[in-house]
Amino acid sequence: MRIILLLLYGVVPIYGAGLRAGVGRVDITPRSPIWLSGYASRNHPSDGVHQSLWARALAIEAGSGTRVVIVTTDLIGLPAEVSDQVAARARQQFGIERSDLLLNSSHTHTGPVVWPGLATMFDLPPGEETKLRDYAARLVDDLVAVIGKAVADLSPAVISYASGQTGFAMNRREPAANGVKIGINSSGPSDREVPVLKVAGLNGGIRAILFAYGCHNTTLTGDFYQISGDYAGFAEAKLENQYHGATALFMSLRWRPEPESSWH
């Protein structure tokens, strides 16, 4: 809850005596061809890297010593078998409670299968499952490492938040003769808000930009077997290039305009 409250409200400074923040980055790009997640129609492993994948972490500590950590990943998602191990080790090594650790994935459809997440989507050839298990084990180590980097980087900070808009999100629930199909519904509800959290040093230099959006990362279907972070990954890269020295973290938002029970 502490983490979510940081993103709800527009540029407004967050004041607090002794406020500190730290960031970290770890490259989580698979080291060899690997089965990609998101589409069940794939029939062979990746054949190249269009863009590196990253885990990024932002630690925020109040003057009282309360500490929260946000970890973002250029991945389809994190199964409990991975996130539970990361959370347990973060608590043991850094004293971070599970309620103060947010693990978020961009939901790119051009990233690796994170075993055993969505395993039933794929009919894997012999040997591929072993590669996926090895990647998941290494990923746990990488996520613990990126948390450690952010905690070790804690220093006095000025934090502010704002909200913008971008218009490419689209409602996919298109009315059809027999109900609803996946398509384009330009008149349907969609959430185009972009909440942003900016972390700066006391000298004003930007150290981190946390931004969020509610839209599937499925824009690079032409690179069906190329590893990439999709639009979120390119947005992160652009921000880091524009604000040299800053770490850009994308957070995927899930938005429902009506109760789950009313969906058909």
The domains of the chain are located at 2-255
Rounded Cα distance between 15 and 251, Å, is 23
Predicted pLDDT of residue 186: 86
The mean pLDDT of 173-194, rounded to a whole number, is: 88
Segments in the chain forming alpha helices (H):
2-5, 80-94, 128-152, 230-242
For the chain, the C-alpha Rg in angstroms (whole number) is 19
Predicted pLDDT of residue 253: 79
pLDDT in tens, 7-33: 444 456 665 568 999 999 999 999 999
Q: Please, which residues have CB within 8 angstroms of residue 66's CB and are 6 or more apart in sequence?
A: 2, 100
The mean pLDDT of 23-46, rounded to a whole number, is: 96
Rounded Cα distance between 198 and 123, Å, is 43
Predicted pLDDT of residue 4: 40
Identify the residue whose tokens are 């973060």. Answer: 90
* Average pLDDT over the chain, rounded to an integer: 89
Taking each helix axis as running N to C, give the angle between helix 128-152 and helix 80-94, from 0 to 180 degrees, rounded to the nearest 10. Answer: 30
The CA-atom distances, in angstroms, between 250 and each of 24, 197, 227 are 14, 11, 17
Residue 143 half-sphere exposure toward CB, CA atoms < 13 A: 30
What tokens does 206 get?
A: 């930007």
| Percent of the chain predicted with pLDDT > 90 | 71
pTM: 0.89
Of the candidates 193, 189, 188, the one whose C-alpha atom is nearest the C-alpha of residue 166 is 193
The mean pLDDT of 121-128, rounded to a whole number, is: 92
* One-letter identity of residue 193: E
Region at 7 (left for phi over 0; alpha for psi -120 to 50; beta for the rest): alpha
Where residue 222 falls among pLDDT bands split at 50, 70, 90? confident
The mean pLDDT of 103-109, rounded to a whole number, is: 97
Scored b (16 or more CB within 10 A) or e, 155-171 reads: eebbbebeeeeeeebee
pLDDT in tens, 53-99: 999 999 999 987 889 999 999 999 999 999 999 999 999 999 999 99
The CA-atom distances, in angstroms, between 199 and each of 165, 211, 248, 261 are 20, 11, 10, 39
Identify the residue whose tokens are 């450690």. Answer: 148
Rounded Cα distance between 115 and 136, Å, is 6
